[in-house]
Each structure stands twice: as structure tokens, then as C-alpha cells.
Chains A and B, each alone.
Chain A
Amino acid sequence: MLILFFRSVILYTMVFAILRLTGKRQISDLQPFDLVMTLLLAELASHPASDIATPLLYGAVPILTLFLVQQLLAYLSLKSHKIRSFVCGRPLIVIANGIIQESVLKAARYTMNDLLEQLRIKDIFEIDKVAYAILETNGSLSVLPKGIHQQPSFGDFKLKPPEEQPPHILVLDGTVFREELQRAGKSEEWLKLQLQRMGVKHVKDVFFASLSANGLLHVQDKERAGGKDRRIQTTVTDHG
């Protein structure tokens, strides 16, 4: 039984490492060759994990082979447009200039119900509002609404857009992320000072702290420390 335990741990580690190395896409975003690999990996790992009469190598060799094939296909797809089209398929325009492309839908075995459902997921309830809809190679639908239904941008109104940088997550569950502090150009002393200003005694009491690009520090205490939600505007140029 101990052998079964360790074989399972070895195979799990192997499958996990390979899935991490092949990319961290979600199941819904998988390309066909990624999906094939994911399905096969589970099956290949389960047999030698549960049967101690089967050498571990019977699982390891196919898993390593699949990893190599997948890496090779990913590399070739990156380098060659033709191979990428062959392996991943091509995006299909299912609505062009507001007109549903019936022949394309049939070729893609995509029903009108599928199309309407995907449009509804994108908050479009009237097909009349769509100028172009493209069925992507991973199965998702990209939609370009007609001009009058498109949302205006900050640029259209000549407004100052918000900062384009993602916020820095400085503390999570009481742990300070020093690397993230460095990226934000701040020090731990600066963080402690700001927390003191907000009335937080210990960083261990902080459940979550983030610093946005415009200098807004958002801190939420742990529930046991009161669970208080606090915000403070810091100066962007203050490098702590």
C-alpha cells in the first residue's frame, strides 16, 4: 500500500510539473493539442499508479513523450503560420457585416442556438447589434458590435484615462510581498508607516493590501482583527 502511495505521489508530481510547463491556460482556453494532452495524461498516470505490477516507466515514458510532442507542436505552431493553422485551426467569421454566414456555421457545426447563447454571454441579446462575430480556434466567440452600439472610450470624450498599471498586491493573509513592494518602488518601512497611519498595529492583522498606480492604498483587516476596510491616498512620488 505504501508503494501505491509513493507511485501516486511520483505520477501526480510528474503530471503536475508537465501541465505547469506546458502553460497555464484554463480548460476553456485549451487548443486542441493541449486538450488531447490533458485527457491522455490523466489516463496514462492512473494505470501505473493503481497497479503495482506495471512498471512506473510504463506511465513515465508515454507522459514524457507526450510532453515532448506537445512542446514540439507548440514551437512549430509559433514559428509557422501553416502549421499553426493545421494544428489549431483558423478563426471563422460567423457574422460578417451584420450578416450571419450560414455556410460557415454549418462547416463549423455551430448551431444558431450556440451562436445566440455565446452572444447572450457577451450581453448582446439582439443579433442586429453585431457587425462581426469570429469563432476563435479555442471555441470562444469574439464580437465586434456595430458602430452605434460600441461603447465610447475615454479618448472619444478627450478625458484623462485611468492609470494603465495593475495594482500591486503588497500583503496577502499577513504576508508581505517584498518583491512586489520593490516593483512599486516602496520599502517595508514605508508600508509599516502607512499601516500605522491607518490604525493597523501589525502587518499580521492585514488580510489584503494593494497599492494602485495612482497611489491609493487599500487595506482590509483580517476578520479576527475586525475585518475593517480602509483606504488612504499616498503620494505617488513617495518612494519610502
Chain B
Amino acid sequence: MVNYKPSARSSVIAAVAAAAILLVIFIFPNMIVKDLSEKVSAKTRSTIEALYAKDWDMANTDMEFVANTLAENEHTLMLFMDHRLVDELIAAARGCLHLVRKHDSAQVFVELEFIINRIEYLAETEKFMWGNLL
């Protein structure tokens, strides 16, 4: 069949749709991850302070918040982030919660630093920086 009508319009519509989708993808993941990163890293740091003060109840409350927040946002994070990173982060938070409940301060600091490092890394991967670009 001979096509008498080239579909230039469909290309323009597709280009506009692609630009709109990209715009949404550029804005929302960054907002979600930034917000989550701030919440989780603040609470994780607060857990560290509580552990230094030997306040196990406070550490437990903070760590529960961290573990629950990450678990609640698992599916959202997996839309934009490498699934292995998200799994590692959630597993580390759960592990920390167990250690805090067992009052094991030796191992828990290593895990808490791991959580801070990973959640800040996740947020940084969405930032437009020379380091990420190059």
C-alpha cells in the first residue's frame, strides 16, 4: 500500500509527550528521594545520638521510624532507584532495629553509618552535579 499521508503530526505529538514524561520524571523522583533522605538521615543521626546517651528507648523509637519509613516507601523508591540498593537499605534498617532491641551498640553503629551513607547516596544520584555527570 502506498502511504499518501506522512504522519508528521504524530511525531510532534510523540515528541511533546516524551518531553512531558521526562519533565515529570526529572521533578518528582528528585522531590520524593530528597524528602525521604532528609527524614531518614535525620532520624538515623538522632539514633546515633541516643545511643551515645545510652537512651535505648529513644534509639528504638527513632529506628522504628527509619525502618517503617523505608518499608512504606519501598515500591516508590524501586521505581527510580536500583532495586539492590533499596533492598540493602531496608535490610540494614531492619537489622539495626534488631540490634537496638538487643542493646548491641558495637555492631549497630556500623549499620547506622551504612544507612546514612546509602540514603544520602540515593539522594545524590538524583542531583545534577558534575560528579554525577562525569
Contacts and interface: CB of A to CB of B under 8 A. Distances in A.
A12 interface: no
B20 to A, nearest CB: 10
Interface string B56-67: 000000000000
Interface residues of A, number: 21
Residue among A17, A22, A57 facing the most chain B CB atoms (10 A cut-off)? A57
Contacts of B83: 52-55
Given A21-B14, A169-B1, A55 B22 contact: no
Contacts of B2: 166
Interface string B18-58: 11011001000000000000000000000000000000000
Given A169-B1, A180-B1, A64 B80 contact: no
A68 B11 contact: no
A236 interface: no
Interface residues of B, number: 19
A207 to B, nearest CB: 16
A132 interface: no
Interface of A: 17-18, 21-22, 52-55, 57, 61, 64-65, 67-68, 71, 166, 169, 177, 179-180, 183
